[in-house]
Structure 1
Amino acid sequence: MFHQILCRELSLLAFNRRVLAQAADERVPLLERLRFLCIVSSNLDEFFEVRVARLKREQKSLPTLIYDSGSTPAETIAAVNEEAHKLIQEQYQLLNDILLPELERENIFFYRRNKWTNEQRAWIEQYFNRELLPVLTPIGLDAAHPFPRLLNKSLNFVVELEGEDAFGRTANMAIVQAPRLLPRVVKLPENLCNGADGFVFLSSILHEYVYKLFRGMTIKGCHQFRLTRDSSLLVDEDDMTRNNLRIAIKSELRDRDFGNGVRLEVTDKCPEHIAQFLLKQFHLQENELYQVKGPVNLVRLMSVPDMLSRNDLKFKPYLPSYPAQFKKNRQILNEIAQGDILLHHPYQSFEPVVKFIQDAARDPDVVAIKMTIYRTGENSALAAALEKAALAGKQVTVVVELMARFDEANNINWAGKLEEAGAHVVYGVLHYKVHAKMALVIRRENGVLKKYAHLGTGNYHQGTSRIYTDFGLFTADPDITRDVNDLFMIITGMGKQNPHKKLYSSPFLLHPMIMQRIERETEHAQAGKPARIIAKMNALIEPKVIDALYRASQAGVQIDLIVRGMCALRPQVAGLSENIRVYSIIGRLLEHSRVYYFENDGKQDVFISSADWMGRNFFNRVETATPIESPKLKQRVIEESLTLALQDTFNAWQMDGDGNYTRVQAGENEEMQSLQNTLLNRYAA
């Protein structure tokens, strides 16, 4: 049976296949290819921790549930595991057959145990005795030592033993867990590698010297494994309503590393009886076993490029330009008062956003600062500026989203610091994540309070602002700043929403706005008027929006969708979506901005937003979509995020109706175009 909506999990695996293609792309510098290979592993970790874990929970609680794709949880899990096995096999094949040999040609070696020289072996043994032996704790399995509770994604070893120990025990198996503080890849001194860059895996070191943990015993085998667990935070409803949400989440975080198992990784040399023993321990099925040809954790290879001073094998560094509208010695608020200012990160520096809050914290005329924090980083200059503003006696209100996945602990820490400084800290809205990116500064000018706002598509995170593409708008527009203030009021307080004049927000009017705009383009096409929709986002899976886009396509609306990750819509299907094209751009930078364009009979409505077109963004989160009204800024957004993306023949992929992707190629006589390279060159400092 043909279903009009694709499986979101298979679509996400297809995205990771496009990332893996970057690791195979010879146009990409070699160490960056290794980094892309590691990104795939990192992405797959989260995929299993979150999405596969959810499927398994639903298989248990709602086994007859039918997803929009037409599959049950069990059918989806089977399809996902089958595709994931293929993807991971291709990943290790790429590592072993292509990347490692190419690295060796560049004098970068990962030494196997049987290739160690005597000098290397002596140094490695000393390293083991000094750095590993004191911190390793072997657990012999017997009646007094049950199978240990292992941390999520930790590196572990099953050691098969023979013999009798000092107590007369004859346990035949032990578990050794490698502490997380230990590096998984160790760099050898250059003098031991004939001037080359040499590395050994921690797993190789432990395999070689594991016998030192079991004196007098015979080692029959040593096999590495890694368990991925369900990492969802399932905070008890009673805890959320009865207790402080920060306390409830902090308590739940302690158990995150010990959720139910969802995937077991072992090497291809692991004996069958060991693999079956581990599957039984973790209550996993055969198709949840992943046997890999190499280390069971490629994520830790991510550190290798940074350990090497080989700029010839990395992307050429770039410096974001500091926007010309801002003078570093002038208050940013004064510049914003002259008119809207648009920033495009990382091509343009994120520093003006930081300075916006820092200036406000120092300005004696600023009376209040309000800001959302979703992801901000451990050493955030923005959060530090908010802390200083609160200590200076300003009215500081911070909406800290404690449920930002995998940033919960960091956000809890900042929430505590800000509360101690005297800021009003609100933990979002119960049952609704606050994902909107907005900051508001209120300053007294000539006896009147004036508002200044920043609204963005990305997080207030200085680290990701250097590798994620995002837009940010500074504005003193009285309608937008009023809307922003009203949204803060209903988040932090109680009451109904005032009708917004320009801003659209979830869970209130954003989804209806998108539906109405699509319907309007449909009506224009039916009336013979120009009709066009272009949207750029990270994911598109919301069924009602997809159905509306299908109807628009059938009416003749030309629709281009630039979706980096998951896309459940089927493009280019006869009778359904002939006029819809779906593209994905995967490159050096992570395409993160959300931009919506509607032709509107030549008026060109353009919005930047924090929201992808997903059910959670429309109905279970607080999000914003901000109109870009300045003609000059509107054209910048259209060109830099949409037009250049649709012209990309370097990093772009096009999707077919079955969810498969092929690279977009330049024509025979056409010059190759790259969205990211064009903007990196345009905005180079």
Structure 2
Amino acid sequence: MSLPFINRELSWLEFNQRVLNEGLRSDLPLLERVKFLAITASNLDEFFQVRVGGLMLMRRSGRKTPDPSGMTPLQQIQAIRRRVQKMMEDQYRLLSDELLGQLDAAGIHPHRMRDIDAAQSDQISAHFHANIFPLLTPLSVEADGDPPLVPDLQLTVACKLVDSEDQSIRYALIPIPESLGRRIPITSSSGGHAFVLIEDVVATFAETLFPGEDVSASGCFRVTRNGDIAVQEEDAIDLAGEMEDVLAARKLSDTVRLELETPISRDVARVIQDVCQAGPQVVYRIKGPLGLASFMDLAFLPDFDRLRDKEWPAQPSPSITPGESMFDAISRQDILLHHPYESFEPVLRMIEEAADDPTVLSIKQVLYRTAKQSRVIDALIRAAENGKHVTVLVELKARFDEARNLHRAEELQRAGAQIVYGVKGLKTHAKICLIVRREAGRLRRYVHLGTGNYNESTARLYTDISLMTCRPEYGADASLFFNAVTGRSKLLRFQRLVPAPNAMKPKLLELIASEAERARQGGQARILAKINSLQDPEIIAALYDASNAGVDIQLNVRGICCLKPGGKKRAKNIRVVSIIDRYLEHARMFYFHQGGDPEIFISSADWMGRNLDRRVELMIPIEDKDARRQLLKILETLFKDTRQASLILPDGTSERIEPAKGKKPFRAQDYFYRQARRKAKAREHERAMTLEPHVPSE
């Protein structure tokens, strides 16, 4: 009998709906609602580029094999279109019926060109001719020629042109460079921040680009192209060169979505579809401004703090004495950090101190996604220039970060670092840094292991876990890991760390089966797991089996969940919740009761086939007693949330969890912030009360 599965793509869309639901909440600050709306649009952009793009390739190849939920590629594409259309209706109803009016009332004034006064029109005209016109490059659409290349995800204005003399008709496109920004500020008698959208400005002044012709009709559109193009590593001699070819190919790839502003004339729409080679099945007609992802910058407008959440500044870890060396702190004990409630600064300091410490001999690190202005990369460059042996595995196959990773890898290489471009056939997604230091005539290894990227920007927005340790077994495993990924040896003989793709799934299946066996024997059996996505069929089958055996299974799954929870047979003991809050839930944490001697892990990997079978990942056991208690407390707290948590239902949809009658709502992220602040203040007070004798220098 086949096992019940929820379709992966539809499950992801339900996750995006949970994000959109935050934007629909009238009790949230206005600009937070705008932010959530923009996030859903950005998410949809990538979903079409990658997931829909991949399905369309499957369909074109004639593949009809159903996925684990029983849906063929065509059925999935059709179901996605229906669900996305409903979601987009919700997005634009929220924008038009609520947010735009509330923004205007709050001092943020969106205007259409047709509604502005003469003084504002003169202001916009001057700005257009000085700052916009020189950067526009119109593209002619020739009836018998090749269609012009329309940039991916870029706003473009299509124009119907009528010659002033002979009344002949032709069509042209005006791509709008992203560097121009989306909003054009204008002065307003009511004060505040007034603006018009750039596509409205370009359409209004389009005739200035076509002397001797009149613009009789125009319309804005946006094309999404297939981003599911991968480097053919089997034939790649120069991986960096091959990756540049992939980036170029994406610009020319097939259209997977065409967004058309409405109203738009039928003939202009037809020309746009012809240019983009877009059939009716990929066309979405939009009643409002296109590209809502660019509205994200509205959420961060200066001088409107009253319309945003109050700041939750990251707190210092109580495990680290201010001013002390990170190596001294780690030598004293394992350090577990819960980001962003606890600052990411210790991780950055560890790498920066290593770059300048004369006793540090080498630094080895995996970089997957980094910040635009990365302190990590700056420190690694400085370390190489200081003569340290620096080895960096830069994952070029980190989708949509390939260009940045290529550029930064070249910088590191010029500084003298040894660069490895990932592992053939696999993405390297592990989060690990190994520092080797000479202490008292011996070599000592310091290791950072985490669930998130070495990215100080996202470390302020994503919840993640960091472990910093100098335990010899972890250091030895870290050396084995880097030897394997740089020297193409096998991921074998690890003492503590559990690597994918060879060992992590077998270990997880063994742990789940062990809990099931204990339950069958009448013992207490419990699994707690926090992951971003759950899709792997073998893991899901094992969880169903454990549930049947009586194991209490609680899963916190932010996004995709292909397991059907709550069924009377297979999943009667499985509860799945999802938390959407101000921080993106990103940490992966696993707890297995193991007869009262629990095994607790953090991991870079989700329970997805791609993570467990096709990526280099790490699962890290937590052995320090304080760290284990802290991690279990975090896990248990997440399952108590009755403010931001939703219960995943058997059909893949979700419903918000409400507090019990008479109980106040409990918000896990708020609790974590308050606890981090309380611990930091308590430690600060403790240090202030400690009397340190002043010892005279010799």
TM-score grouping bracket, smaller chain normalisation = over 0.9
Matched, 1:643 2:636: yes
The Cα shift of 1:540 comes to 0.3
The Cα shift of 1:489 comes to 0.5
SS in 1 for 2:89: helix
**One of 220, 229, 233 as aligned partner of 2:229:** 233
Moved more, 314-323 or 462-471: 314-323
Moved more, 129-138 or 540-549: 129-138
CA distance in 1, matches of 2:395, 2:140: 43
Counterpart amino acid of residue 155 in structure 2 = L
Give 2:567's aligned residue: 573
CA distance in 1, matches of 2:302, 2:448: 38
Matched, 1:446 2:440: yes
Matched, 1:681 2:674: yes
CA distance in 1, matches of 2:586, 2:489: 33
The Cα shift of 1:140 comes to 3.0
1:396-423 CA-to-partner distances (Å, cap 9, x unmatched) read 1111111111111111112111111111
**One of 219, 222, 225 as aligned partner of 2:218:** 222
CA distance in 2, matches of 1:131, 1:43: 31
Matched, 1:209 2:202: no
SS in 2 for 1:452: strand
Give 2:127's aligned residue: 127
SS in 1 for 2:228: coil
CA distance in 1, matches of 2:351, 2:427: 23
CA distance in 2, matches of 1:406, 1:656: 32
Matched, 1:422 2:416: yes
1:265-323 CA-to-partner distances (Å, cap 9, x unmatched) read 01120233433333333333323111111111111111112234111100111211111
Q: Residues 441-520 of structure 1: matches in 2 within 5 Å?
A: 441-520=435-514
Task: Kindly report structure 1 stretches of 4+ aligned residues shifted beyond 4 Å.
Answer: 143-146
Moved more, 467-476 or 291-300: 291-300
CA contact (8 A) 1:142 1:171 kept: no
**One of 157, 180, 183 as aligned partner of 2:181:** 183
Q: Residues 248-287 of structure 1: matches in 2 within 5 Å?
A: 248-287=242-281
Moved more, 63-72 or 343-352: 63-72
**Distance 1:447-1:544 versus aligned 2 partners, 3 A rule:** same
SS in 2 for 1:134: helix
Unaligned stretches of 5+ in structure 2? 681-698
Give 2:84's aligned residue: 84
Q: How large is the RMSD of aligned CA atoms in angstroms?
A: 1.6
**Distance 1:525-1:262 versus aligned 2 partners, 3 A rule:** same
CA contact (8 A) 1:436 1:622 kept: yes
CA contact (8 A) 1:503 1:626 kept: yes
The Cα shift of 1:479 comes to 1.0
CA contact (8 A) 2:566 2:650 kept: yes
Give 2:191's aligned residue: 195
The Cα shift of 1:99 comes to 0.9
Give 1:53's aligned residue: 53
The Cα shift of 1:25 comes to 1.0
SS in 1 for 2:485: helix
Give 1:141's aligned residue: 141
Q: Residues 317-466 of structure 1: matches in 2 within 5 Å?
A: 317-466=311-460
Counterpart amino acid of residue 182 in structure 1 = L
CA distance in 2, matches of 1:143, 1:76: 35
SS in 2 for 1:492: helix
CA contact (8 A) 2:642 2:658 kept: yes
Give 1:23's aligned residue: 23
CA distance in 1, matches of 2:490, 2:660: 55
TM-score by length of structure 1 reads 0.96
CA distance in 1, matches of 2:174, 2:87: 29
The Cα shift of 1:647 comes to 0.6
Counterpart amino acid of residue 174 in structure 1 = A
CA distance in 2, matches of 1:628, 1:611: 16
Matched, 1:548 2:523: no
CA distance in 1, matches of 2:125, 2:400: 36
CA contact (8 A) 1:227 1:263 kept: yes
CA contact (8 A) 2:233 2:239 kept: no
CA contact (8 A) 1:141 1:171 kept: no
SS in 1 for 2:650: coil
The Cα shift of 1:495 comes to 2.8
Unaligned stretches of 5+ in structure 1? none
Counterpart amino acid of residue 430 in structure 1 = K
SS in 1 for 2:134: coil
Moved more, 283-292 or 626-635: 283-292
The Cα shift of 1:210 comes to 1.6
Moved more, 7-16 or 179-188: 179-188
Counterpart amino acid of residue 170 in structure 2 = N
The Cα shift of 1:525 comes to 0.5
CA contact (8 A) 1:3 1:70 kept: no
Give 1:114's aligned residue: 114
CA contact (8 A) 2:140 2:148 kept: no
**Distance 1:145-1:133 versus aligned 2 partners, 3 A rule:** farther
TM-score by length of structure 2 reads 0.95
Number of residue-to-residue matches in the alignment: 678
Give 2:696's aligned residue: none
CA contact (8 A) 1:140 1:171 kept: no
Counterpart amino acid of residue 673 in structure 1 = F
1:612-654 CA-to-partner distances (Å, cap 9, x unmatched) read 00001001111001111122111111112x1111110111000
CA contact (8 A) 1:63 1:74 kept: no
Identical positions, percent? 37
